[in-house]
Amino acid sequence: MSDWLGPILHCHEITKLYPVADGLFALKNVELEVEEGQFVVITGPSGSGKTTLLNILGGIDRPTHGEVILKGRKYSRMSEDDLALLRRRDLGMVFQFFNLIPELTAAENIGFPMRLLGWEERAVIDRLTYLMEAVGISGRADHYPMELSGGEQQRVAIARALAVKPAVVLADEPTGNLDSARSREIMELFAKFNREERQTFVVVTHERGFEEYADLVLRLSDGRVAERVVKNGQHGAEGKTERPSCAVTPS
Amino acid sequence: MDFIRLAVRDVRRNGSRTGLAIAATALATVILVLSRLVPQGYMKYLAYAERSFADADILVWSAPQHVYSKDTSPLEWRDWSGEEWQSFAGYFLPELKSKGYVSPVDAPGWGPLDAGRLSSIISQVEGVEEVLPYLAFPCKVRVGDGEYVDAILRGREFRGPDRPLAMDWQVKRGRPLGPQDERSPNALVPLEPEEEGPPGAVVPLIADVIIPYAPHLEMEILLPRPQAGTAPSWDNPVSANLRQVGAYKVELGVVPGEFPDEIRPTGYWKRPEVIVSRTTFLDLVSGVLPEPPVYQMLVKVVRHSDTKVIVERLRQALGPDYGVYAIAELVSTSGDMSGISLIVPDMSSLMRWMTITMAGGIVAASVYVLLALQTRKIGLLRAIGATSKDIILYALSAVAYTTLAGIAIGFVLGKIITLTVIAATDFTFFEWLKMAGYDALLSLSGIAIPLTLGLAVAIWASRIPCAEVLRRE
C-alpha cells in the first residue's frame, strides 16, 4: 500500500501513431484513471490497441501524444533509464509468454527484482517464501523455467511481478498461452492478491469472460475506448457503463 | 543476483554458445601468439647448406631491387649485367640472366659496392653478428696439359669448426682450411658428387666444371687483368700456384648433426669456387688490382630465428638502392628453380596485419553473436527495470568472461605450439619463457579489443527498444 492519494495511474489523451504512409492510429485519445487497489481489465479484439496501451502504461513504449502519470510522475519528463528504474520499483510486468530468465531458477527469477533493489537477503527470503506459497509453486523453487509447465511459469512470472510490492502490476494477455482451466487459476490469483494485498492490477485480455474480475473495464476498438464499465467495487457486480462520448475526448 | 552474476550464470548455462565464443577467441589468440613468432625469422637449419657455403644468412646486392607494394615510383624491366663470379644471384635467381629484373626507373642498377661504407651501416643494425664482403674474382684453373677451366677464386674467413656457418662439415676430402692457412697457398676445391641426388631431385648447376682433387696437388691458376669499363682481359693473365688441401661438396638439404648420413641430399650446389683464406686471396688479387671489386655483401645474424626482422631493418637502413635477401627466403622462393623476378618484401607485414585483423574479426563476430542472440533477454531485462548501465555491465561481463577464458586457453595452446617448434629454432627455453611473459602481457592487454568491441555491442544492446523485442514473440 502506498501513501499516494490521487489516482495512482493516470493516462491522459494517449495517442499512438505509427509512421506509415497515411499514419496508422494504434491508439487515439485514450483516457484512463486507475485508483489504488483497483482491478482494471482492458479488453478488445485483436489489433484494438490493448498491448500498445499496456506498453505505454509500462513506459516501454512512448505515446505520440498524451501523458502517462504514475504516482504524480510524468513519463514524458523521464529518460529511458528513469523509466527503467520506475519499472523496477513501481511496476510489475506479466507477459503472455512468461518471459522468465531461463538461466535462473524459479526462486531466483522471483527474487531478482528484490535483489536489484538491494533488499536485505532475509527480507528477500521471507517475501520469496510467502509468494511461492501464495502462487502455489513452493515445491518448484529450484527448477529452471524449462522444467516448469506453462501454468507454473506464469505463476512464477506473477510472483516476480508482485515481488517488490509495486504500485501497479501490468499484465499483457497473461492467460493467452494457457488452457481455460489454467487461465482461470491465473485470474483467480490476480483477484486474490487484489483482494488480500490491495494490489492494483491492469490486465489486458481478449477474453471478455474475465471482465467479471474487474472494478473497471475498458473495452477498446480500433484504438479508441469503445466502452468503459465501472463496477461497484466488487468483482462481478455490474455498475455504471459509459459510452465513448464520455470516455473519449474528440480529436 | 546482480547483473555480473547473471551474466556469468548466463554464459555458464549456455554451453554451446559460450563454447563457440571461447573457441573463437582461443583460436584468435593462438593466431596472434603464433603470428608474433612466424614473421620473425626461420628455423635454425633452413637452407643451412647454402648458408654455410655462402658464409652468410643474408645477401646484399646492388640489384635486383625490392619492389614494395606501397611504392608509387615507375618501374621498368632491366637486363641483368652481372657475372657469375660476382655474386650468388645467378644461383638463387636463375631467371635473372634470361628475364632480367624489375627495378624502379631511377635506381642505379647492378654494379660494384662501396664495401667499407656498407659494412659500417650494416654492422650497426641490431641483430647483425658480422658483415663481410664476398671476395671473389674470376680465374682459370689448369686441369691438364694446357687445359684450363673457368672457375671462381674466393677468399673466405676460416676460424675453426665452431664458428657460426663454418663450412668445415662440407669438406668431404682432406681437411678444411683454418687460421693456420692465412697467407698460405692452401686451397679447397669443389668435389664432383658421385651421384646426382635422388631421381627428380633438383640439381642446381651454374657450371659443369670438374677440377680433379688430390691431396697436396699443386694447381696453377690464372687471374685476368682488369680493363677500364669492360670485362677483365685474359690476354695477359697473372699466374699463381695453389696447393689442394681439401675438397668440399655442398649437399642441399643436409645439415651437420649426429647422423648426417641419414639425411639424403636433395641436390648439389655445384659452384666452381676455389676457396683460399681471405689474406691469401687479397695477396693474389693485389697482383692485378689494388682493391678487388665487391658485388655482394655477406651478413651473418645473431639468430636465424630473427632473420626476417633483421632483413627488414637492413632494408630500412640501406635504402632502396640495394637488394637485401635472406638466403632462406631465396631458397624457399626459388625452390622449384623457376626463379623469381619480383619480390614484394612488405607482404609479410601486410599478412601479419591481415592475420591480426582476422583475429580481431573473429573476436568481434563472436562477441556480436554472443550478444545478438540475447536481444530478447536484454529487452526483458529492460522491461523489468534494468537501466542502460545495467545492460552494459551485463554484456561486458559476459564478453569479459568468455574472452578471458578464450584468451587464456589460446595463450597456453599457442605457447605450447611454439614450445614444440623452438627445438628447430635457435631460441633457448629461457628466451621462450621471456617471450611467454611478454606474450602473456600482450594477450591480457588484448582483452581491451573484445571489451571495446563488446562495449560498442553492449551500447547497441542497451538501446534495444524492449517493446520491439517483446512484440516479436
Residue bearing the bigger pLDDT, B133 or B197? B133
| pLDDT over threshold 80, residue B123 | yes
For A178-210, how does the pLDDT look when each residue is reduced to its tens digit (9 = 90+)?
A: 788 888 888 898 898 898 889 999 999 988 888
Residue of B nearest to A53 (CA): B467
Residue B259 sits in the same domain as residue B354: no
- In a domain, residue B24? The reply is yes
- In a domain, residue B234? The reply is yes
**How close B467 comes to chain A (CA, Å)?**
6
**How close B406 comes to chain A (CA, Å)?**
22
Contact residues on chain B for A102, CB-CB shorter than 8 A: 13, 377
Contact residues on chain A for B390, CB-CB shorter than 8 A: 84
For B323-375, how does the pLDDT look when each residue is reduced to its tens digit (9 = 90+)?
A: 899 999 888 766 554 433 344 445 556 666 777 777 777 777 777 777 777 77
Contacts of residue A24, defined as CB under 8 A and 6 or more positions apart, other chains included, come to A17, A18
User: What count of other Cβ atoms lies within 10 Å of the Cβ of residue A125?
Assistant: 14
Q: How far apart are CA B137 and CA B154, in angstroms?
A: 7
- In a domain, residue B128? The reply is no
- In a domain, residue B124? The reply is no
Q: How far apart are CA B207 and CA B272, in angstroms?
A: 7
**How close B384 comes to chain A (CA, Å)?**
6
Residue B280 sits in the same domain as residue B356: no
Residue of A nearest to B7 (CA): A103
Residue B365 sits in the same domain as residue B452: yes
- In a domain, residue B340? The reply is no
Q: How far apart are CA B92 and CA B333, in angstroms?
A: 9
- Identify the domain boundary among B247, B273, B288: B288
Mean pLDDT of B84-88: 92
Minimum mean pLDDT range among A19-23, B61-65, B438-442: A19-23
Q: For position A243, what pLDDT does the model report? A: 59
If you average pLDDT over every residue of chain A, what do you get? 86
With residue B406 as reference, give the H or E element that holds it. helix B388-421
Residue B270 sits in the same domain as residue B380: no
The candidate with the shortest Cα–Cα distance to B189, out of B160, B220, B145, is B220
Contact residues on chain B for A103, CB-CB shorter than 8 A: 6, 9-10, 12-14
Residue B225 sits in the same domain as residue B364: no
Contact residues on chain B for A55, CB-CB shorter than 8 A: 467, 470
What is the share, in percent, of chain A residues with pLDDT greater than 70? 88
Residue B268 sits in the same domain as residue B364: no
Contact of B48 with B251, CB cutoff 8 Å = no
Residue bearing the bigger pLDDT, A130 or A235? A130
Residue B276 sits in the same domain as residue B397: no
Q: For position B469, what pLDDT does the model report? A: 60
For A97-118, how does the pLDDT look when each residue is reduced to its tens digit (9 = 90+)?
A: 888 998 899 999 999 999 989 8
- Identify the domain boundary among B271, B288, B305: B288
Confidence of residue A43 (pLDDT cuts 50, 70, 90): very high
Contacts of residue A86, defined as CB under 8 A and 6 or more positions apart, other chains included, come to A59, A70, A73, A75, A78
| pLDDT over threshold 70, residue B259 | no
B375 touches chain A (CB under 8 A): no
Contact of B389 with B396, CB cutoff 8 Å = no
Q: For position B335, what pLDDT does the model report? A: 55
Q: Report DSSP letters for A1-58, one per residue.
A: -----S-SEEEEEEEEEE-STT-EEEEEEEEEEE-TT-EEEEE--TTSSHHHHHHHHT
Mean pLDDT of B459-471: 71
| pLDDT over threshold 80, residue B458 | no
Contact residues on chain B for A95, CB-CB shorter than 8 A: 383, 470, 473
For B50-82, how does the pLDDT look when each residue is reduced to its tens digit (9 = 90+)?
A: 999 999 999 999 876 666 656 677 888 888 888
Residue B142 sits in the same domain as residue B283: yes
What is the count of residue pairs from A and B with beta carbons less than 8 Å apart?
69
At A101, the amino acid letter reads: I
Residue B393 sits in which domain range?
A: 3-39+348-471
If you average pLDDT over every residue of chain B, what do you get? 82
Q: For position B197, what pLDDT does the model report? A: 56
Residue bearing the bigger pLDDT, B440 or A33? A33
- In a domain, residue B255? The reply is yes
Q: For position B341, what pLDDT does the model report? A: 38
Q: Out of B377, B384, B387, whose CB is closest to A113?
A: B384
Confidence of residue B141 (pLDDT cuts 50, 70, 90): very high
Which DSSP symbol is given to A213? G
Look at chain A and count its residues. 251
Contact of A175 with A210, CB cutoff 8 Å = yes
Mutate to test the interface with B, among A18, A27, A51, A55 (most CBs of B within 10 A): A55
Q: Which domains does chain A have, with CATH numbers?
A: 36-58+83-241 (3.40.50.300)
Q: For position A124, what pLDDT does the model report? A: 94
Confidence of residue B143 (pLDDT cuts 50, 70, 90): confident
- In a domain, residue B229? The reply is yes
- Identify the domain boundary among B259, B288, B317: B288
For A150-162, how does the pLDDT look when each residue is reduced to its tens digit (9 = 90+)?
A: 889 988 999 999 9
Q: For position B109, what pLDDT does the model report? A: 84
| pLDDT over threshold 80, residue B263 | no
B9/A104 CB distance under 8 A: yes
Q: Where are the alpha helices (DSSP H) in B207-264?
A: none
A99/B14 CB distance under 8 A: no
Phi, then psi, of A219 in degrees rounded to 5? -100, 120
Residue B176 sits in the same domain as residue B281: yes
Residue B359 sits in the same domain as residue B256: no
Contact residues on chain A for B388, CB-CB shorter than 8 A: 80-81, 84
What is the share, in percent, of chain A residues with pLDDT greater than 90? 49
Mean pLDDT of A163-168: 92
B359 touches chain A (CB under 8 A): no
Confidence of residue B424 (pLDDT cuts 50, 70, 90): low
A87/B2 CB distance under 8 A: no
Residue B282 sits in the same domain as residue B365: no
Q: Residues 214 to 253 of B: which have CB under 8 A from any A CB? A: none
The domain total for chain B is 2
Contact residues on chain B for A99, CB-CB shorter than 8 A: 380, 383, 470
**What predicted TM-score, i.e. pTM, was given to this entire model?**
0.62
Residue B362 sits in the same domain as residue B282: no
Strands (DSSP E) contained in B109-215 are: 128-133, 135-144, 147-156, 171-174, 186-190
Kindly provide the ipTM of the predicted complex, given to two decimals: 0.83
Mean pLDDT of B194-221: 70
Contact of B187 with B174, CB cutoff 8 Å = no
Residue of B nearest to A157 (CA): B384
Q: Out of B14, B383, B473, whose CB is closest to A87?
A: B383
Q: How far apart are CA B216 and CA B245, in angstroms?
A: 5
For B307-329, how does the pLDDT look when each residue is reduced to its tens digit (9 = 90+)?
A: 988 998 998 899 888 889 999 98
Q: For position B245, what pLDDT does the model report? A: 95
SS3 label, residue A121 = helix
What is the share, in percent, of chain B residues with pLDDT greater than 90? 28
Q: For position B370, what pLDDT does the model report? A: 72
Contact residues on chain A for B6, CB-CB shorter than 8 A: 101, 103-104, 112
With residue B209 as reference, give the H or E element that holds it. none
- In a domain, residue B248? The reply is yes
Sheet holding B128-133, edge to edge: B128-133, B297-301, B58-61, B323-326
